[in-house]
Amino acid sequence: MLKTFRIGGIHPPENKRTARQPIEQAPLPKQAVIMLSQHIGTPAQPVVKKGDRVKVGTLIAQASGFVSAHIHSSVSGVVSKIENTADISGYTRPAIFIEVEGDEWEEGIIRDNSIQDTSALSPQEVVERIYRAGIVGLGGATFPTQVKLSVPPGKNAELLIINGVECEPYLTSDHRLMLEKGPEIISGIKLLMKALGVNRAVIGIENNKQDAIEHLRSLTAGNPEIEVCPLRVKYPQGGEKQLIDAITRRQVASGALPISTGAVVQNVGTAFAVYEAVLKNKPLIERVVTVTGKNLQEGKNLLVRIGTSIQDLIETAGGLPSNTGKVISGGPMMGKAVVALHAPVTKGCSGILLMDEQEASRKKIRNCIRCAKCVHACPMGLSPNLLMRVSELALWEKAEAEKIMDCIECGSCSYTCPANRPLLDYIRAGKSKVGNIIRKRTTKK
């Protein structure tokens, strides 16, 4: 019997329309707009100025604080300005604008099939290379990888879990990466194991990607320390806590970190980026992005330079259909609507989804009928109907007591609600408010 997590979950239509589309190199942009805040934590601080010439891989912004990540130029050219610009959500944040001239790379980056011999590297040196390359979690959370590999005092890492689930509908970038970059991913997994000091890794892949399961199993046949674990298809199995539960049968307690279970979770894209960082000296300057939609002329999986505009990617995939109602960064469940198409791709962007007007339209909201479908669907065991209500009424103490901060914003509640109530919208707003209250309270202490 296939494993899966034990609390809640739903089965939205998969719509994996680009699963058979090989990864293609996206065209170079004419201008790259590289956000300084494209990771969880403190924004990076620029180390270049207007007029500076940069190459592909040049450090342009330095990590600022413990939870932060370096940012490198994804193109070669001239820094034209450093100023605020809109991100995908419409918020203005600082960015470095680079006018592209050619495609000249930093000399230390290995671009051929040769690799460095890293057998003599210590775990600390592996983590240091990951830090220098600006690697963050590529599953969407964008948590700086070097921080996740630094196990807190008193905790012990026993198992590395590699997230190849990709349960979000429409998205196929991880699937294609597993099929096309399998050996590199396995190398990255071994480096992550070394960094953590663990001797066992499990790659979790949902059973709708049988070709990826078979491929990675063939690559790990001689590596008993790495196991490929097929999982029953169920959303949101790609959530860190849900994946830990599915594979280890251990659950992360409310308010606790995943490391409390002895497991560290990394995305397959992150494992590939670690391979490139440690063995190729290559910073995180590009990633695979799925561009898809039911009415899109030609859905694609594109290897995209960070800082390329969403508009450019849509044009590469055939252009914006006339009946487009919404463009989403990410998938339909956890993604966010794009306010401006000139907004750039960041490290955390795994997909661009185009919805037609009918698919994007919201149905009429009706009164809650207390059916409890949202409660049964919630993978965190929360009561979304109650959390929406207390957020509406600004009852922040009650919201905190009802564990609103445990919400992983998967959207399962809104998806199942027969009354079409915007449960997640209110919970997100309430979670933001309660989070600010907690931070202020902690600062005072």
Is 368 marked as a binding-site residue?
A: yes
CA–CA separation, 405 and 438 (whole Å): 10
Other C-beta atoms lying within 10 Å of the C-beta of residue 408:
17
Residue type (1 letter), 205: I
Q: What would the two tokens of residue 316 be?
A: 């590469």
Task: Give the span between the Cα atoms of 244 and 250, in whole angstroms.
Answer: 7
Phi then psi for residue 260, to 5 deg, are -65, -20
Residues in contact with 10: Cβ distance below 8 Å, sequence separation at least 6, in sequence order:
234, 235, 377, 412, 415, 416
CA distance 156 to 151: 7
What is the rounded distance in angstroms from the CA atom of residue 269 to the CA atom of residue 173?
9
Going 156 to 157 to 159 to 163, the CA torsion angle's sign is: positive
Asked if residue 371 belongs to a known ligand binding site, the reply is: yes
> Is 413 annotated in some ligand binding site?
yes
| 229 carries a ligand binding annotation | no
Pairing of strands 351-356, 286-292: parallel
Q: Are 329 and 309 in contact (CB under 8 A)?
A: no
Can you say whether the dihedral through the CA atoms of 368, 370, 373, 377 is positive or negative? Answer: positive
Which residue carries 């490391």 as its tokens? 259
Alpha carbon of residue 298 to chain centroid: 24
Helix %, strand %, coil % for the chain, to 5? 30, 20, 50
Residue 349, annotated ligand binder? no
Cα–Cα dist 373/415, whole Å: 10
Q: Is 167 annotated as a binding residue?
A: no
Taking the CB of residue 269, how many other CB atoms lie within 10 A of it? 28
Distance CA 385, CA 130 (A): 42
Distance, in Å, from the CA atom of 272 to the CA atom of 242, rounded to the nearest integer, reads 22
What is the chain's alpha carbon radius of gyration, rounded to the nearest angstrom? 21
Dihedral over alpha carbons 21, 313, 91, 38 (to 10 degrees): 60
- Residue environment code for 343-369, b if the CB has 16+ CB neighbours within 10 A, otherwise e: bbbbbbbbbbbbbbeebbeeeeeeeee
According to DSSP H, which parts of 233-383 are helical?
240-248, 268-280, 310-316, 357-360, 373-377
User: Which residue positions form the known binding site for [4Fe-4S] cluster?
Assistant: 368, 371, 374, 378, 407, 410, 413, 417
- Binding site, by residue number, is 368, 371, 374, 378, 407, 410, 413, 417
